[in-house]
Structure 1
């Protein structure tokens, strides 16, 4: 049963299901959605329960009034504002008016698959803990709105059951990259998340950046074995228990969960794109035994590493 006051949502689909909102437009095969909230059917005024997402989101508010609350910070959303959040703490939202508000969500797998492994280097604002809504001029909003229309048009295209979605979402991925570039150039051109927020927020951002960099180095072969909690703590001259406490309190997830999620993403990539044996991947990701890695992978994917590799090779 769901806690009536809090919702742990693994995706926007889970969140909308929990909030008893329409989910018929969702495509569960990819970690991307785009909807106009006017079409969702919120009964106004609307106040959500507290929830924790594990997806990135942009709100493009052309005509609407509401607010979001994260931790003890409440932000008013007003016309011609752009609001961004990433996977983080519990938050709530409320709406008084919804006339034209576009919501775009995407997960890390989608970013890495369709935009690239260096997405956080190209767009560092994606890593920040807290980004205030930005009100832009009507001209800038219109430029962004043009890109959003192309994304929405591609997203709502109907495809036959026997055809593949790859080209559709590849196009969406390219358009999303253009959108991120446009937003970066107009809003966060010189933005560096490491300098924003209090000490705890800076620790979290530094951890996220090191986590991302380390797995890039792991993938490219610059390092041979995955970091453990002690390594991430040492990089910031912190005690592992203190780092773990900060990560848990600020993000709602244990540091081991962050590392496990990254390991799973890297495992899927290595099984799809490399010729490394399962034993070699086991060592690379820091598991002591192949059986431990296989159990970890099967717990999250439902199939063994070898079955995953074979199924992917069969599809392509």
Structure 2
């Protein structure tokens, strides 16, 4: 299932190493060239939350899947992402060149008069994409260049200076109108349904008794997508003609049947892996949906 990507997982997946300063009290910061992070044969970036903030500068065609939106931009773009909202980025051609930095809230809060998650680009329901001119890209690129030089320096107060550079990027973007150029799906309902389906399917197959199906309700999915549960339910019903609960139940029954038929796990183990607190709850659920008990289904 989709989980929040930690800093440790980010470094291990991108570079197969961990920096020494992940546990510093000042919070964490690092900066990279995008092209240094695209290794041949690497697994595609997953749609999920991260436990850190991210600012990216790229050129070319980029599709950003962000909460219940898909935004396509073509050109110079500043992108802002927070830990509150799941996302993934598809980059094409020249977009694979540029810069990005990552940082934790603890790193930046000393420099801000307000909370970082209250800033427009990081707020829930905010707009992460800011299209900029060639001149503006040059200016932003210079800031990232200073970050790269400073992160490798021995200057005693380099993190104070790096905080200033991050703040400068934020204020630079705040003077620019955020841009939503094109939605990949024909409407928002179609997009949110596609993301819901992806998150639902990502929890399967259940491969070990210790693996657990956790997103079991419309509310769980709405929280994962950072949208109101009524909005999620309405979008899925309008797109598919079925309720959110119907889709979850249908997929849960399919997996239950597969586990009963193709594993030797006992009913209690299957019950747990499918997210039921008690085997009796699973028995009642399965019988209601199939008109037979799990044990009877297994021996037929």
* TM-score (structure 2 length as normaliser): 0.51
**Structure 1 residue 37 and structure 2 residue 34: aligned?**
yes
1:45: Cα distance to partner?
9.0
Q: Note if contact 1:7-1:15 (Cα within 8 Å) is conserved in structure 2.
A: no
Q: Note if contact 1:8-1:51 (Cα within 8 Å) is conserved in structure 2.
A: yes
Q: Deviations over 1:255-282 (max 9, x none)?
A: xxxxxxxxxxxxxxxxxxxxxxxxxxxx
* Secondary structure at 1:186 match in 2: coil
Q: Note if contact 1:45-1:95 (Cα within 8 Å) is conserved in structure 2.
A: no
The answer to which of 85-94 and 133-142 deviates more is 85-94
**Structure 1 residue 172 and structure 2 residue 162: aligned?**
yes
Q: Note if contact 2:55-2:78 (Cα within 8 Å) is conserved in structure 1.
A: yes
Greater C-alpha Rg: 2
Q: Which runs of 5+ in 2 are unaligned?
A: 179-187, 190-218, 228-300
- Residue 223 of structure 2 aligns with which residue? 248
1:56: Cα distance to partner?
1.6
Cα pair distance change 1:33/1:139, threshold 3 Å: same
1:81: Cα distance to partner?
1.1
- Residue 87 of structure 1 aligns with which residue? 83
Q: CA separation in 1, counterparts of 2:126 and 2:118? A: 18
- Residue 15 of structure 1 aligns with which residue? 10
Q: Which runs of 5+ in 1 are unaligned?
A: 160-164, 189-196, 199-243, 253-316
Q: CA separation in 2, counterparts of 1:153 and 1:103? A: 14
Aligned positions, number: 185
Q: Note if contact 1:68-1:91 (Cα within 8 Å) is conserved in structure 2.
A: yes
Q: CA separation in 1, counterparts of 2:122 and 2:67? A: 18
CA RMSD of aligned residues (A): 3.4
- Residue 130 of structure 2 aligns with which residue? 134
Alignment counterpart, residue 75 of structure 1, candidates 68, 71, 78: 71
**Structure 1 residue 148 and structure 2 residue 138: aligned?**
no
Q: CA separation in 2, counterparts of 1:26 and 1:101? A: 25
